[in-house]
Structure 1
Amino acid sequence: MRAIRLHTFGGPENLRYEDLPDPVPGPGQVRIAVRAAGVHLVDTALQAGTSGKLPFPVPELPITPGREVAGVVDGLGEGVADEWLGRRVVTHLGLVNAGYAELAVRETEALFALPDALSYEAAIAMVGTGRMALGVLHVAALEPDDVALVTAAAGGIGTLLVQAARNAGVSVVGAAGGPRKVARVRSCGADVAVDYTRPGWADEVRAALGGREVSVVFDSVGGEAGRAALELLGCGGRFVMYGWSSGTPTEFTAKDLQANLLTAAYALGPRIARVPGGLRGLQERALAEAARGTLVPAVTTFPLRDAGAAHAALVGRETVGKVVLIP
C-alpha cells in the first residue's frame, strides 16, 4: 500500500509518500480500504515535533500520522463476523495510529457503519470534529434567547457550531479570517459575520447587534481575538474555550469574570468525555445529524500524496472546515 511516513521532525516537506507492507487485521479487527482520512492540528504539531502542543509524548520515528479513516472493510481478522465484509465504515483511530494510508486496521467495536447517503468525507468530519462540536454545545447549554459568538467560525468545529446554534433558535455571530471565510460563515446561517483580522471588528459586532449583548462565546483561537471576544460578553455571559490556534489561550483573571458575573469553562477532552453517553454517544449523534442533513460539515480535500501541502495550508489558515486526505 501507499502511505505517508514521517522520518524526521520538521516542516511539512518531511511527510513522504512511500510504499509500505499491507497491514493484516488481528483477532477482532477488520482491515479498511481507506477512502478518506482526517487531518488534525495535532498532526501538524506531531510533524513538527512540537512537544508542548501534543496531548501525548513525542513518539519514536518513523511513524504514519492519522487519527480518523473512512472506507470499505476488505479484510477480516480471526473471530470477526462475515457480515462486516464490504461494509462502509468510519472510525477514530486514536491519537497516532496510521490513518494517512490506503489501508488501516481497527477493532470492530470502534467502527460505525455508514448509510449510503453519507459521504466518506462528511463521515470523517463528523466522527472527530462533529463529536467535539456536540460536546462543546453540551457544555454551553444554549437557550433560545442567547446570542452566541463563534471565533474561527469557518473551521471544522466552527461551521458546525454556527449551524447547530441556528438550529436551536439562537442568534449567531461568526468571526473568521478573510473575506472568503466570512462568506462561508454567512452561508452557514450566521446572522452576523465579521473578519476578525480587521481592526475594530468587535465594534462591528456591537453595531450589528444594535444593543443586544453577546451571552455565549465559543472560542478556539485565544490570544488577542479571544480576549476581544471575552470583552463582548454581557452580564452573566458564558465563555467556552476549546482550543487556542493562535498559540496562546485567552487570558483573563478572576476580576474579569467577577466584573460582569461571567463564567468560563474549558470544553476539552476530559470534560467532553463525561458527557452522557461518552465519546461514542457523541460520535453516533454527530453522524446521525449529518445523515439527516441537519448538520452539514465543511470539508477541504487534498490527495493523500499531498499531505504536506494539506498540513501547510491548515497551519497557514488557508482551509475551510475539516481537512481530509483522499487516497
Structure 2
Amino acid sequence: MHAIVLHAFGPAENLVHEKTEDPVPGPGQVRIAVAAAGVHLIDTALRAGHQGPAPRPTVLPTIPGREVAGVVESLGDGVDGLWLGRRVVAHLGFAPGGYAELAVTEVERLHEVPANLGFPEAVAMIGTGRTALGILQFVEPGPESVILVPAAAGGVGTLLVQYAKHAGATVIGLAGGPEKVERVRADGADLALDYTDPGWPDRVREHLGTGTGSVTVVLDGVGGEVAREAVALLGDGGRHLVFGWSAEGIGNGRGHFVDGLSERVLGPAMLRRTGGPDPLRTLELRALAEAAHGRLRPAVTRFPLAEAATAHRALETRATIGKVVLEP
C-alpha cells in the first residue's frame, strides 16, 4: 500500500508519500480500505515534535492519523464475518496509522456509516463531531442565549454554530477572511464577522444594541487577542469555555484564562459529563446520529493522500474550512 510516513520530526515537508507493507489485522481486529482519513491540528503538533496530549512518545518512523472511514476488507481471528464489506468509520485512539490506503483497528472501535453519510463527513463526525458535542454538554443554548464562537469556520466551530442556532440561540461567529465569513453566515449565524477587522467587537455591540456587550457564552478554541476581545463582550454571569488556543500554538500556548470566569471543558471534564462505561463512544454515536438526521452538516476540505504536507500547511496557516480530510 501507499501511506504517508514521518521519518523525522519537523516541517510539513517531512511527511513523505511512499510504498509500505500492508498492515495485517490481529485477533479482534479488522483492516479497512481507507476512503477518507481525518487530519487534526494535534497531528501537526506531533509531526513537529510536540508531545501534546498523547500518553506516550511518538516512535519514528510512523504513519500519522487517527480517524479513518472506508470499507472493511479483511478480518482478524475472532471477528464476526458480518463486518466484511461494511462501510465503517473509526477513531483509532492514540494508535496512529490513518494516513494510508489501508488501516487496522480493533473491531470494538467501528461504527457503521449511515447510508446517507459520505466517508469524509463520517470522518469529520467521529473525531471533530464528538468534540463539539462534548463541549456542548457544558452549555444549554436556547432563545435567551447569545453564543459567540471564534474560529466559527473550523471543523468544531461550524458544528457549534449549527447546533446553537438549531437550539434557538442568537449566534455570533468569527472567522478570518470573506470566504470563511460567508461559510459562517451559511451555517445560520445571526452575525458573521471577520476577526482580522479591528472593529469587530463594536459590530457585536451594535448588533446586540448594548454599550458594553451582553454575550452569555464564548466557546473558545482560539485563545490570544481574539479571546481577550471576546471575553470583554460577556455580560453579567457570562461564561468563557476554553477547548483550545490555536492562536498561540498548540504545542506551547495557554489561551486566555480569566479567574472565576474561564472553564476548561475537554479531557477528563468532558468525559465526566458524558458518563457511561465508554464516554467517547457515546459521543461518537451521538455525533453520527446528528449528521445522519441532517441536524449537523460538517464542512470538509479535501486533499489527496499524497498531498498530506500541503494539507498540514493549509491547516497550520488557517487556510481551510471545516474538517481537513485526506483521500487515497
Cα deviation for residue 279 of structure 1 reads 1.0
Give 3-state SS (helix, strand or coil) of 1:131's partner: helix
Q: Which residue of 2 aligns with 1:250?
A: 255
Q: Which residue of 2 aligns with 1:260?
A: none
Deviates more, 1:198-207 or 1:165-174: 198-207
Q: Distance in 1 between matches of 2:194 and 2:114?
A: 37
Report the CA distance shift for 1:89/1:180 in structure 2 as closer, same or farther (over 3 A). Answer: same
Give the partner amino acid of 2:161.
V
Cα deviation for residue 200 of structure 1 reads 2.0
Q: Does 1:233 align with 2:231?
A: no
Q: Does 1:297 align with 2:298?
A: yes
Give the partner amino acid of 1:267.
V
Cα deviation for residue 123 of structure 1 reads 0.3
Deviates more, 1:315-324 or 1:243-252: 243-252
Q: Which residue of 2 aligns with 1:66?
A: 65
Give 3-state SS (helix, strand or coil) of 2:302's partner: strand
Q: Distance in 2 between matches of 1:29 and 1:250?
A: 39
Q: Does 1:22 align with 2:22?
A: yes
Q: Which residue of 2 aligns with 1:95?
A: 94
Alpha-carbon contact 1:129-1:157 (below 8 Å) kept: yes
1:47-196 equivalence runs, <5 A: 47-51=47-51, 53-196=52-195
Give the partner amino acid of 1:30.
V
Q: Which residue of 2 aligns with 1:270?
A: 268
Q: Which residue of 2 aligns with 1:199?
A: 198
Alpha-carbon contact 2:91-2:127 (below 8 Å) kept: yes
Cα deviation for residue 116 of structure 1 reads 1.7
Structure 1 segments of 4+ aligned residues over 4 angstroms from their partners: none
Q: Summarize deviations over 1:187-215 as a string: whole Å, max 9, x none.
A: 00000011111112111111112236110
Alpha-carbon contact 2:220-2:240 (below 8 Å) kept: yes
Q: Summarize deviations over 1:220-261 as a string: whole Å, max 9, x none.
A: 00011111111110000111110000123333443xx4xxxx
Deviates more, 1:156-165 or 1:276-285: 276-285
Report the CA distance shift for 1:253/1:126 in structure 2 as closer, same or farther (over 3 A). Answer: closer
Q: Summarize deviations over 1:281-311 as a string: whole Å, max 9, x none.
A: 1100100110111100000000000000000
Q: Summarize deviations over 1:140-178 as a string: whole Å, max 9, x none.
A: 232331000000000000000000000111110001111
Q: Distance in 2 between matches of 1:81 and 1:219?
A: 43
Q: Distance in 1 between matches of 2:9 and 2:37?
A: 21
Give the partner amino acid of 1:272.
M
Structure 1: segments with no counterpart, 5+ residues: 258-262
Alpha-carbon contact 1:5-1:18 (below 8 Å) kept: yes
Give identity over the alignment, percent.
58
Q: Distance in 1 between matches of 2:234 and 2:217?
A: 7
Q: Distance in 2 between matches of 1:250 and 1:47?
A: 21
TM-score between the two structures when normalised by the length of structure 2: 0.94
Cα deviation for residue 46 of structure 1 reads 1.2
Report the CA distance shift for 1:252/1:80 in structure 2 as closer, same or farther (over 3 A). Answer: closer
RMSD: 1.3
